[in-house]
Chain A
């Protein structure tokens, strides 16, 4: 029976510990009506969503915005699997398709656009000067996997321009692609214009002319019935947020489709 008592004591201790953790989480916001809004977003939004969320928190005292970034396809699956997110923001409209209807709690708002750019290491070892250089078989080129928006955009671009680059690796998200370029492991990587702008001294950009480029439109929507979720989506098209987005190199919110 001694063992049983000890097990019970252990169980009680574990419960206490869990309780303490839960309490710790609640006490992060100061006022009694502290609220946490969970935003899951595409990897390419990593740098801009921090200041945008700061602005939202400033407008809504007591609200804490928690954010998590991954490939668009990954965050959609997270929401479908019940990740408990309130807002979903993606890098392409196509990625929204797998989202289950039960998680659609509002209208889809298109809040930004983005275009591809060729990122090269600062010293540009492959001497890449334009889109057509990517077909050079001597170059090591990486792109995103096709299930993520930057990958489908890259595939579309290659098909549209009749390019057949030797892809060394299909990376799981755009930031992984950018990292391979930053580390100098590849001669070129296809990322968004905004990713190059976010890493000015770590990579150099080789622009793709607008008439040959592919445009991605970024959708966001509320994925819980939390009222603030829709507020956050609306905040994305506010003047303050739009300024942050365009400063970072995104295109302004397109007219509703």
Chain B
């Protein structure tokens, strides 16, 4: 027996592991395997998976474009408000998603702080659109990415920036050619977390974007809608989401997250 392990610790660890694996195994047991193809052919399955693929891809592009510079600013800024900004960025991590949805409505809804003028001046309404789905996903996923990437950026020795600067590289060039390549493992880890969070997003989406097949009904909303109408389609859809999540996390783990 390893000196750091005792039977009580191992029992508790075993219970924890079982608690996580049991429902997943139960889901697989309930699948109607012989007719899985038929259930996967239900319109709700393809439609919602396609929408989830599109929206989470768009979300990830925005996460990279906005989250990487944000993480860098938080990691390197010495401004006295930076600590506050760092804390505020993590708020959506602990906020119940449905509250996030209400907050998004208050900001971007037809009567919202920004959404009101947007509709009055440009006739643009955000809620109930695919754009609203991406915004809900971005709201909940971005903090996961920023926290992970900022962590690895802060661990980066400042002398790298300084050497790059003495060699004549501007801040932007230093960022793209020195900083980003060196924190790639952090970016990969943050991306996996953010993507998984975006894929699973439910509360903010149904509150802010509603549920319409093909437009705002993502895979989790599809599971929820189908559960009461066509439970086998809901289970089939759940299994696909489980498989996709396991494959993506598995690939990330072997490539970057060792």
- From residue A190, how far is it (CB to closest CB) to chain B in Å? 14
Q: Is A140 a contact of B225 with CB atoms below 8 Å?
A: no
Kindly list chain B residues whose C-beta atoms are within 8 Å of the C-beta of A71: 228
Contact assessment for A171 and B211 in the assembled complex, using a CB-CB cutoff below 8 Å:
yes
Q: Which of B82-90, B103-111, B144-152 contacts A (4 or more CB under 8 A)?
A: B103-111
Are A183's CB and B125's CB within 8 A?
no
Assembled-state Cα–Cα distance A6/B9 (Å): 11
Within 8 Å CB of A142, what residues of B?
Answer: 128, 210
Q: What residues on B are CB-neighbors of A124 within 8 Å?
A: none
Residues of A159-183 whose CB lies within 8 A of B: 167-172, 180, 183
Cβ of B7 under 8 Å from chain A? yes
Across the interface, name the chain A residue whose C-beta is closest to B125: A140
Contacts of B217 in A (CB 8 A): 170
CA distance A145 to B212 in the complex (A): 9
A145, B110: Cβ atoms under 8 Å? no
A168 adjacent to B212 (CB under 8 Å): yes
> Does A7 touch B at the CB level, under 8 Å?
yes
B229 within 8 A of A: yes
B111, A183: Cβ atoms under 8 Å? yes
Does B227 belong to the interface (CB within 8 Å)? yes
A146 at the interface (CB under 8 A from B): yes
Indicate whether A207 reaches chain B with its CB closer than 8 angstroms.
no
Contact of A170 among B109, B225, B227 (CB under 8 A): B225
Contact between A3 and B8, CB atoms less than 8 A apart: yes
Q: Chain B 125-140, CB within 8 Å of chain A: the 1/0 string?
A: 1011000000000000
The answer to whether A77 and B227 have CB atoms under 8 Å apart is yes
Q: In the complex, which residues of chain B have a beta carbon less than 8 angstroms from the beta carbon of A172? A: 206, 211, 224-225
User: Which B residue sits closest to A176, measured CB to CB?
Assistant: B206
Interface residues on B, range: 20 to 34
Bits for A56-80, please: 1 = Cβ < 8 Å to B, else 0. 0000000000000001011011000
Contact with B along A124-167 (1 / 0, CB 8 A): 00000000000000001010011100000000000000000001
Query: Residue A22 at the B interface, CB < 8 A?
Result: no
Query: Which residues of chain A come closer than 8 Å to B7, judged between CB atoms?
Result: 4
Find out whether the CB atom of A183 lies under 8 angstroms from the CB atom of B105.
yes
Asked if B77 is at the interface (CB within 8 A of a chain A CB), the reply is no
Asked if A167 contacts B8 (CB within 8 A), the reply is: no
**A169 and B216 form a contact (CB under 8 A):** yes
**B254: interface (CB < 8 Å):** no
A185 close to B (CB within 8 Å):
yes
On chain A, the residues within 8 Å of B224 by CB distance are 172
Which A residues lie within 8 Å of B8 (CB)? 3-4, 6-8
Is the pair A77, B127 in contact by a Cβ cutoff of 8 Å?
A: no
Question: Quick check: A185 and B225 within 8 Å, CB to CB?
Answer: no
A7 to B13 alpha-carbon distance, docked (Å): 12
When distances are taken between beta carbons in the complex, the residues of chain A under 8 Å from B26 are: none
Interface centre among A7, A8, A76 (most CB of B within 10 A): A7
Residues of A that sit less than 8 Å from B by CB: 3-4, 6-8, 71, 73-74, 76-77, 98, 140, 142, 145-147, 167-172, 180, 183-186
What are 19 A-B residue pairs whose CB atoms fall within 8 Å in the complex? A4-B8, A7-B8, A7-B11, A8-B8, A98-B228, A140-B128, A142-B128, A145-B211, A145-B225, A168-B210, A168-B212, A169-B211, A169-B216, A170-B210, A170-B212, A171-B210, A184-B111, A185-B110, A186-B128
